[in-house]
Structure 1
Amino acid sequence: MKKGKLIVFSAPSGAGKTTLVRHALDSISNLKFSISCTTRDKREGEVHGKDYYFTSPEDFKAKIANDEFVEHEEVYHDNFYGTLKSEVDKITAEGISVIFDIDVIGALNIKKLYGDECLTVFVNPPSLEILKERLISRNTESEDKLKQRIDKAGIEMEKAKEFDVILLNDDLETAKAKTIEIITDFIK
């Protein structure tokens, strides 16, 4: 059986990567979501084991010490995200490709580890101003968190050139169609 490949979507918060990843999962049968592990608080409607594996900072640090992650990062103080090796190995061994929705640094680290078996896609918002409007309209962040995310977005957008593909999300339907095209070309 042919092993599955890895497709990594990354973007500044609010650029639309999660929407595009969900669309790909609904549209492509041989694709499974990589559930990340995080220490951040659950948002309304999120489910442990479906959206994320929610854990404590102490447990997360123990997993780091045990080398259980493909990639991990402390995105904000005591706010960790990471991808468990066991999750990736389980899915790809079944011949299914894995799709990720993770931060920029994590995406680039996975690419280093998996090389040509991994495709990195950076979802670019039309502008920082539109990104800010999207984040405000989500109404999920405090003023401090909002400022942190916007400051980080500028840094992340500078890293886009290190990705295999840059996908502009200025029109959602166009971006959805392009997402399917990019992924199916890579996994065939």
Structure 2
Amino acid sequence: MTTVENHQKIIIITAPSGAGKTSITTYLLEQLPNLAFSISAATRSPRGTEKNGVEYYFMSVEEFQEKIRKEDFLEWEMVYEGKYYGTLKSEISRIWAQGKTPILDIDVKGAIHVQQMYPGKTLSIFIEPPSVEELERRLASRGTETKESLAARVNKASYEISFKHHFNHTVVNDDLTQARTKTLSIINSFLDS
């Protein structure tokens, strides 16, 4: 496998909120130094210790909409009312220029869109919760949701799960260690092809 072939690939990890995609993505980045995290743009405020340019590129709704007009995004979505998330084209170019493979931790609709833009160059993995009830329990245990926002996330998750057949692989995260190992194996096969 040459770096040139490899560096034109894209790995997509997608899942409903609370299914474990961020935990799995963090593990993959630790195991595979040839991957680089694609930092998404977001209009929400930083949480906890999040920093601009590390977890997300935080921007105002106006800045985000200007980038939409300029067609700066590979994909973007208003994930929740007034909350935009997207992948900047410049972010993918930045990672490819480093000779690495971008790993995108993105929304289901965005993942489908990126696959359509790069047919044959993407590997998409849907992380599925063991059940919607377990997903609701995980989200509630974070303590960051109101009753209304929890209900919205659970409804959205049910809808997103209905799209799992659009992706190359589905990994059920009922045991995080097994889900990480299975996802790592799938990615290694893709990078070696």
Residue by residue over 1:121-178, the C-alpha shift from the partner in whole angstroms, topping out at 9 and shown as x without a partner, is 1000000000000000011112211111000001000000111100110111101111
TM-score (normalised: structure 1): 0.98
Deviation for aligned residue 1:94: 2.9
Tell me how far apart the structure 2 counterparts of residues 89 and 172 of structure 1 sit (CA, whole Å). Answer: 31
> 1:68-87 to 2 correspondence within 5 Å?
68-87=72-91
Question: 1:26 aligned to 2:56?
Answer: no
Q: Which 10-residue stretch deviates more, 152-161 or 41-50? A: 41-50
Amino acid at match of 2:61: P
Deviation for aligned residue 1:105: 0.2
Residue by residue over 1:60-104, the C-alpha shift from the partner in whole angstroms, topping out at 9 and shown as x without a partner, is 000000000000001112100000000101212332101011110
Tell me how far apart the structure 1 counterparts of residues 118 and 49 of structure 2 sit (CA, whole Å). Answer: 33
> 1:36-115 to 2 correspondence within 5 Å?
36-115=40-119
TM-score (normalised: structure 2): 0.95
Contact 1:4/1:91, CA 8 A, preserved across alignment: no
Structure 1 unaligned blocks of 5 or more? none
Q: How many pairs align?
A: 188
Q: Secondary structure at the match of 2:117?
A: helix
1:171 to 172, 175, 188: 175
Q: Would you identify which runs of 4 or more consecutive aligned residues in structure 1 move more than 4 Å? A: none
Tell me how far apart the structure 2 counterparts of residues 172 and 77 of structure 1 sit (CA, whole Å). Answer: 30
Percentage of pairs with the same residue: 44
Q: Secondary structure at the match of 1:123?
A: strand
